[in-house]
Structure 1
C-alpha cells in the first residue's frame, strides 16, 4: 500500500473530467498519482456516494479535490476512512445540513444564476427531472473569462448539465471538521461569488490561496497554481 496519497479530482457542474487535463499533466510531471472520475451530476447525496465509493477502492490514502459543485461532494465523501485531506478549487465548502442554495443565498448572487438554461431528462417511473446548463452566449464571461475564446466555445458546447434538485439537497456530513483542508479562491469568479468561496474556506479552517483575476475555470486557465496547492496538500498528508 502506497503512503503517497492519490489525488482524486472531482469536477463540478457544466464541465467534465477533461477540465482537469492541465492539472493532471502538472501532477503527473511531479510523480503524483492522480485519478479524475466522471461526476454523475444527478444529486448531492448520490454523487457524493459515488465519489466515496471510488475513493474507498483506491489502495492507500486519498486527497480529494473538488471544483465548484465538486467541493460540496468532497465535503460529504471526505468522511471515507482513507481520505486524508480536502482541496477546494473555486468551490463550495458546505456545513452539515446546509444546501448550495442556502449557502449562496447569504451573499449577492453571481451572474450565473440569471444565465441558467433549463432542460428535462427522463426518470424511470416518475415525472421528468429538470437539469440546467449555462446559456452558451453567457458561458465565456460567466465561467471562463480568462480562457482563450476558441477554448471557451468548445467548453460551452460540451457542458454537462446539473440536476436542478442538487441546489436544494443538504450535506449529510462536513468532512473538513475532521480532515485538513486547503482552498483556492478564484478572485474574479462570476459563477460562484468569491465571497462564498472565501467564507466556506475560512469556516473550514482551510489553508487559503487567492488568485486575483482568476475565473471559475481556474483549473483550465491556471493549472500550475492549482496543481501547486494540491501538491502542498499531498506533501502535508504524506
Structure 2
C-alpha cells in the first residue's frame, strides 16, 4: 500500500513552523510531509482551503491538526483520501457546533484574558470580526510555558492572527464519525482547558493519550507526537 502523506495543520496564532521538529523527524523517516499555511480567516474557509490541499495530494493522507487546526481537520478530514485523523491539543467539534459553544461549557483558560483584538486591514473586517492575537508579553506563559524562552519569544512575535469570525462559525461536518482518529491531551495546557480537549475526544469516541505539556505539545514533546502520528500511519497500511 502507498505510504500516506502527512498533512500538518497548524492552529490559531501560529504558522507551519510550529511543526518544525515534527516535520524534521517525519522527513528523516522517509515520509512526504505537507504543512500548509492556514489563512485563519474563517473556520469554514480554512477547512475548505485545507480540503483543497488534501485533494491535491496524490495518494492517502494522515491529517494532523493542532488546536484550532483540530476544528479545521474535523471538516477537511471528510476528503476521500484522508485515512486517519490526529488531534493535538485540539478541538474535536460536533457537526453544527462552534468553537465558542464547545468552550462555553467549561471554565475559562488563561487565554481569554490574554487576547488582543485589533481592526483587520483585510476586506473581511467589520467591528464584529476583528483580528485576534495573544498579548506578546503573555504568550510564552499562556501558550508555550515549556518551550525554550527564546523560541517562545519568536513565536509570540510572529503570530498569524485569527479572525474573530472563526470562533462563532459552526462546523458543517464531523470527519471523526467516519475516519479513525487519535488524539493528545496536553494536561498542562493553559490555552485550551484540557477538559475541553478530553470532552471532545470522548464524545467522538477517540482514544487519547495525555502528555504533561503546554499547548505547544509538538514543540516541547515532538518524539511523543511523532509516535502518535505513526500509530495512525500504521492503521492505514
Shorter chain as denominator, the TM-score bin is over 0.9
User: What pairs with 1:1-238 in structure 2 (closer than 5 Å)?
Assistant: 3-124=2-123, 127=126, 129-212=129-212, 214-238=213-237
In the TM superposition, what is the alpha-carbon distance from 1:205 to its structure 2 partner? 1.5
The normalised TM-score by structure 1 is: 0.96
Runs ≥4 in structure 1, deviation > 2 angstroms?
122-129
User: 8 Å contact 1:27–1:231 — kept in the other structure?
Assistant: no
Task: Tell which deviates more after alignment, 177-186 or 127-136.
Answer: 127-136
Paired with 1:95 and 1:78, the residues of 2 have a C-alpha distance of: 13
1:145-176 deviation digits (Å, cap 9, x = unpaired): 00111111111001111001100000000000
1:36-62 deviation digits (Å, cap 9, x = unpaired): 010000000000000000001101111
**Aligned-residue RMSD, C-alpha:** 1.3
Count of equivalent residues: 236
Unaligned runs of 5+ in 2: none
What secondary structure does 2:198 align onto?
A: helix
The normalised TM-score by structure 2 is: 0.96
Unaligned runs of 5+ in 1: none
In the TM superposition, what is the alpha-carbon distance from 1:30 to its structure 2 partner? 1.6
In the TM superposition, what is the alpha-carbon distance from 1:120 to its structure 2 partner? 1.3
Paired with 1:132 and 1:125, the residues of 2 have a C-alpha distance of: 13
